[in-house]
Amino acid sequence: MTAMIEATNLCKTFKLGTVDVEVLKDIDLTINSGEFASIMGPSGSGKSTLLYLIGGLDKPTTGSIKIKGKELSVMKDKEESVMRRRDIGFVFQFYNLIPNLNVEENIMLPILLDGRKMKDYKDKLEEILEEVGLTERRHHTPRELSGGQQQRVAIARALINEPDIILADEPIGNLDSKTGTDVMKLLQRINIKKGKTIVQVTHSKEAAEYGTRTINVRDGRICE
Amino acid sequence: MNIIIKFLLKNIKEKKLRTALILFSITISAALFFASSATTDSMVKMYTDQIKKFYGESEIIIEAKDTAPSRYFNPTLPQEYKSHLQYSVGLFSGTGIYKYKRSGAKDENVSINLRGIDWKDQQIISKVTLASEFEVDPFQGKKIVISKKTADKYGLEIGKTLELMIEGTKYKFLISGIAQMTGPFTDDGRSHFAIVPMEILSSIYDQKGNVSTIYIKTLNSVEKQWIIKGLTASMKKQHVRETISQSDLQEQTGGVTVALSMALVLVLFMSVFIIYTSFKVITTERLPVIGTFRSIGATRKVTDFVLLGESVAYGVIGGLLGSGLGIGILYLIAKATTPTWDPGYKTSVQFTSAQLITSFLMAVILSLLSSLIPILKVSRIPVKEIVLNKIEKNQKGSKIWKPILGIIFLLAAFFVPPVAKGDPGILMDTVCTLLSIAAVILLLPYLVRGFVAVFERLYIYIFGNEGVLAVKNLRNNKNLLNNVSLLAIGISSLLMINTVTRSSVTEIINYFDTCMKYQMFFWVPEMDKSYEPILKAVDGIKGAKGFYSANGIEVKGTDKKIDSLESANKDFYMDYIDITLDGSKEATLKKLEQLENERSIIITGVVRNKLGVKEGDSITLKMPAGDRTYKIIAIWDSMMMGGNYAAIAEKYLKQDMQSKYYSYFAIKSDKNPEELLLFLKDKFARNLANGQTMKEIKDMVVESNSQIFNVMNAFSVITILIGVFGVLNNLIISFIERKRSLAVFRSVGMNKKQIVKMIFIESMTGGLIGGIVGVAAGLIMINIMKHMLTQVIATIPMNYSITMLTISATIGVIIMVTASISPAMKSSKLNIIESIKYE
């Protein structure tokens, strides 16, 4: 098993007014290829911060993060962006789709940002639309979709570039239980069938059960 | 409640730049509203001030009619009116020639307009301030008061004598006063003026006891019309009229008033748009807090009230600032429209407190009404959606009535102006201009979709995928659409005003350069046919033709006047003027023959529109010989005499107007017109000769029009300027609303450079679309203005310049790209997590 994500001595401090708040304290974490890890913990424990640091959306105060063996802290904006579109797929609680783009365009966004042509990825798109069950809704805009459908678009977007890692922040936090179950099954299928490494942040024990590993974060520390 | 108000006040204070932007929009709107409403009054004041220098506060003027046997008459007024008058002052006008001896050069004959008047009477009607005096009191015998300008120019000194030739005899006057250049001595740049005792001047003219003019001021101005009517009835040989008539004022200020009203409509339209979009910024920014306040129990009424209160506060501050700024702009407009060819006009501003209050209230109402829609929209959003930040999803799909209404407006703007005639036509044309702007706003989302489809295919090759994403972002982004609308309105106004003004000036120049085939007007009092051979004998004169003309002829059954009625004969029209009637020279000749043979009339297109008549109709003119009916045999599209012009046969004009003398001679020459005119003035100095070269008239007309056009152009620039601020506002709101989308772009791998590139392409494309739509809307508005001008002045061919069209479209791109620098930089520095999680 190869290490997909490696965090060493990871610390993150935020300034809250004049006070420094230590959100993550000396975190050491390794997530291997093909794992479906669920980070759990109470509100304010630092779980989402950990996910964003892994995804390169934020910088650690100290410590290091390696994605597929590459150190994030030495990466420039351009390299980091390339990593985000090629190696990582993000799924957010509030879906975060671009309202002006339709389903197809939203899914193809990472391809477009990578400077590649949409027409070269037609088959891939068909396959993913099939996978997430949105073939019929491909020309709709996000506001014409239900929450569950929007989340499936977000998952499809995270998959289009075939990244090795999928990071999901409360992926079912905004969905009803039935839709939530469908989404979790989809993620599980992706993990098993495609061998993708998935890291999700969740409050839900049920959601965590779809994963292969649970990481508990409390007061900025991991207590597995 | 207090906490909410405190919070909002704090927000206003913290967002200094935003507050400044909103206040700027309201201030400019109020200022322009005030300036344009007060400009007409200021122009009236300037015009009346200029006239008052001669008339003072007099309300009625009595002069001999053209048909009277003598221009002098007995000043005794009917007894019954005397008790109703504050004063009645008679004066005697004459002319003296002063021979100015120049060393080493030919003597110069200087014509001086003499006013014979009792000194006390002069002080009553218009005060004279003396720079120096010598035995001016008692003002009797051969004494004269000259102007400082005359004294300085010819080296005349107080206490010395001045020799004048009056009625062929030389008289020596004692210079007993040198007057400052005020009142009747105000410089008109052309003539010299002096005051002598009335008794002496009337004696010289052998008219002792008679006057040439009476000035009257009533005790109660309400009785003015009654007195004019009564005096007209009892003084058959004299013309009794108002010193300043409403129609004169209308004529003097009408053009500017119409132009400013049109420009104001555009500015107000723009302002409403700006304030509306500004308040969208405010409500969007305040939304999360409004949600919080509402979630903890504040009612909709409370939050609405506070937001409306904020808009009123902006209105009040903007209104106050706008009123102050408006006075400054008013002064600039007044300065720009002050005739520079006549030093008698002094720049002055006139406004009333009512206008200031109205502008202030307009600012408050404008702010309140424009902010109402965004405030009510926010008010209707359920608290839950605000708190959960689900507002984006709430946008409704496009409404079918919008494009339908847009197309109807567009069709109206195309097809109504050609058929709209007369005064209602002008109103309809104004409405059509507004409809064309409304059509742009309504149709823009659909036009943008079309543009996006084209640009998408194009940009993939030019800008790559970021270009494609950028145009896709334009599709349903309301703020970017607002920006395109603002640019389109601003650019169309700029293009329309610029093209119309440029075309008008070109047309005026063309008229003088090609239509008029003679080089100068020349006149002396009481000219008849005997002057023709004399003038023709002058070296350099190739042709001279006398004209009869009459001004302000009333058309029976209407309240309209023909400004200039001239005598016409076939030879003159063929030789001196480039006229084409009914499309060919043969037809023109036929019409001119018809004109000579029957009581018929040729009118211009402007007169046709003004009277609502057509070829073949008859009109009855009120003439000194009685009412006379003329058949309209041709309509001439010409700028002749500003367009309000008609011609009848010479014999009928002489007969019906009872004209004895020519009004002027048209002179053709192959010599330098300026030199020839100087020569003629000198040669006929004893006959009080005067004249104007065509170039002088052209320059004067071009300059007077240019001044109005400069004001119009300034308005269009201000419209664009307001547009720029609107664009800035919209880009800020767009940035706020799109923060999350931009963060998503970043989270899925868009780098900072790509973000900046995408935003710039978006802005450039928006600017380009705004420019293109603006040019298209501008062309529609130009077409409307063309029809409007046909009603008011004449048919003016519009000169479209490709350069101007290109510049207009480029302005859009420059504005948008420049305004997007700040949002682009902010976007690249965006905190991704904060923006994504800000719900």
For every residue of B377-429, DSSP letters joined together read HHHHS-HHHHHTT-GGGGPPPPPTHHHHHHHHHHHHHHHHHHH--HHHHHHHH
Q: Are residues B812 and B753 in the same domain?
A: yes
Q: Where is B203: in which H helix or E strand? A: helix B198-204
* C-beta atoms of A100 and B747 within 8 A: no
Amino acid found at B101 = K
Q: Which of B387, B468, B744, B834 to mutate to test the interface with A (most CBs of A within 10 A)?
A: B744
- Quick one: tokens of B405? 């209404």
Q: Which among B276, B282, B272, B273 is positioned nearest to B736, based on CA atoms? A: B282
Q: Are residues B778 and B791 in the same domain?
A: yes
Residue B839 forms part of a structural domain: yes
What ipTM, to 2 d.p.?
0.86
Q: Are residues B701 and B808 in the same domain?
A: yes
- Say if residues B519 and B665 touch (Cβ distance below 8 Å): no
Residue B226 forms part of a structural domain: no
Which pLDDT band holds residue B455 (cuts at 50, 70, 90)? very high
Nearest-Cα distance to chain B for A102, in Å, is 10
Note the pLDDT tens digit of each residue in B462-477.
999 899 889 988 877 7
Highest mean pLDDT among B30-34, B193-197, B340-344: B193-197
| pLDDT for the residue numbered B393 | 46
Residue B224 forms part of a structural domain: no
* Range B145-151 average pLDDT: 91
Q: Are residues B622 and B716 in the same domain?
A: no
Q: Are residues B659 and B775 in the same domain?
A: no
Q: Are residues B387 and B406 in the same domain?
A: no
DSSP B131: E
SS3 B181: coil
Query: How many CB contacts within 8 angstroms connect chain A with chain B?
Result: 86
Which pLDDT band holds residue B295 (cuts at 50, 70, 90)? confident
Q: Are residues B354 and B262 in the same domain?
A: yes
The packing angle between helices B2-14 and B16-55, to 10°, is 80
Question: Residues near B593 by Cβ (< 8 Å), separated by ≥ 6?
Answer: B570
Q: Parallel, antiparallel, or unpaired for β A36-40 and A197-202?
A: parallel
* C-beta atoms of A52 and B839 within 8 A: no
Nearest-Cα distance to chain B for A214, in Å, is 24
Domain boundaries, chain A: 3-222
Nearest CA in chain B to A166: B748
Q: Where is B487: in which H helix or E strand? A: helix B478-510
Q: Are residues B432 and B500 in the same domain?
A: yes
**Domain-ending residue, one of B346, B362, B394:** B394
Q: Are residues B513 and B529 in the same domain?
A: no
Residues in chain B within 8 Å Cβ distance of A142: 393
Q: Of the ranges A93-102, B395-404, B682-691, B743-752, which one carries the lowest mean pLDDT score?
A: B395-404
Residue B133 forms part of a structural domain: yes
Residues in chain A within 8 Å Cβ distance of B469: 109, 112
Q: Are residues B669 and B710 in the same domain?
A: no
| pLDDT for the residue numbered B641 | 67
| pLDDT for the residue numbered B62 | 92
Amino acid found at B392 = E
**Domain-ending residue, one of B350, B379, B394:** B394
The rounded distance, in Å, linking the Cα atoms of B832 and B743 is 5
Q: Is B468 on the interface with A (CB under 8 A)?
A: yes
Residue B230 forms part of a structural domain: no
The helices-and-strands tally (H runs, E runs) of chain A is 7, 10
Residues in chain A within 8 Å Cβ distance of B395: 143
Query: Which member of B392, B469, B751 has the closest CB to residue A77?
Result: B751
Residues in chain A within 8 Å Cβ distance of B465: 112-113, 115-116
* C-beta atoms of B832 and A57 within 8 A: yes
For domain A3-222, the CATH architecture is 3-Layer(aba) Sandwich (3.40)
Q: Is B141 on the interface with A (CB under 8 A)?
A: no
**Domain-ending residue, one of B673, B696, B719:** B696
* C-beta atoms of A85 and B749 within 8 A: yes
* C-beta atoms of A101 and B749 within 8 A: no
Asked if the model's pLDDT at residue B369 lies above 80, the reply is yes
Please state, rounded to an integer, the average pLDDT across all residues of chain B: 83
Q: How far is CA B202 from CA B70, B205, B210, B837, in A?
A: 13, 5, 7, 97
Domain of residue B833 covers 400-517+697-839
Note the pLDDT tens digit of each residue in A152-208.
999 999 989 889 999 999 999 888 888 899 889 999 999 999 899 999 999 889 999
Q: How far is CA B228 from CA B65, B73, B74, B136, B233, in A?
A: 15, 17, 17, 35, 9
* Range B793-798 average pLDDT: 73
Amino acid found at B447 = L
Window B:374-413, CB contacts with A under 8 Å:
389, 392-393, 395
The rounded distance, in Å, linking the Cα atoms of B712 and B730 is 27
Q: Are residues B502 and B648 in the same domain?
A: no
Residue B310 forms part of a structural domain: yes
Residue B156 forms part of a structural domain: yes
Residue B30 forms part of a structural domain: yes
Q: How far is CA B380 from CA B110, B285, B291, B388, in A?
A: 80, 16, 12, 15
CA B265, chain centre distance (Å): 14
The rounded distance, in Å, linking the Cα atoms of A199 and B569 is 100
The rounded distance, in Å, linking the Cα atoms of B308 and B23 is 15
Task: Report, as ranges of residue numbers, the positions in chain A whose pLDDT lies below 70.
Answer: 1, 224
CA B370, chain centre distance (Å): 28
- Number of domains forming the structure of chain B: 4
Q: Are residues B16 and B74 in the same domain?
A: no
